[in-house]
Amino acid sequence: MRNLKITGLAILVSITFEYFFNTLIEDLDLQKSLYSFIFHSLVLIVAIFLAINFHNSSFSRIQNFKIGLFISILFSIFISGYYYSYHKWINPKLLENKRSSLIYLTETHETFFDAKHKIQKNPNYYDGKSAEDLIEMQQDNINDLLQPAKVFPISLFSFLFTGMIFTILIGFLKNLFKNLF
């Protein structure tokens, strides 16, 4: 029950942050997702840390992993669901703006020269490809990935992976420090 409260509080903090971050700052189309992901990851890590260290008397690594996994799963589902809802219904223009900005960046001369340089640097890997082909593939990837249906599984996996890694790390450190003191 305590872990559910910690998870609920973490979700509430993250969604509140998202609301204010998205309404107050409108100019960061390209960096907004990065800052948001970093903040949510920190909230997830703090929630796991609190649940394992302060609301758990067990030193069992398996029990600690279960607690962290529970928090990671709930947090990931809710935040990814929020991302999907936000990008699908609340502000669908955000992904469109990001897609347009990234497509515009691929059309610059620097991108063309970078693509040519990559082909010259590793001709066997890019056999039969031109710089235009690489740019077109990059644009196809941008158009394919920046959709609400793709953002949901990517964010879900990212938060689950982050939660599992830090659960293992925090559980290991808890057992290490238990043995030292």
Nearest to 159 by CA among 54, 78, 53: 78
Q: How far is C-alpha 112 from the chain's CA centre? A: 29
Residue 113 burial (CB < 10 Å; 0-12/13-18/19+)?
Answer: exposed
pTM > 0.75: yes
Buried-exposed string 40-55: b where 16+ CB fall within 10 A, e elsewhere: bbebbbebbbbbbeee
Task: Reduce the DSSP state of residue 178 to 3 states and report it.
Answer: helix
The 10s digit of each residue's pLDDT in 4-60 is: 999 999 999 999 999 899 888 877 666 888 899 999 999 999 999 999 988 677 778
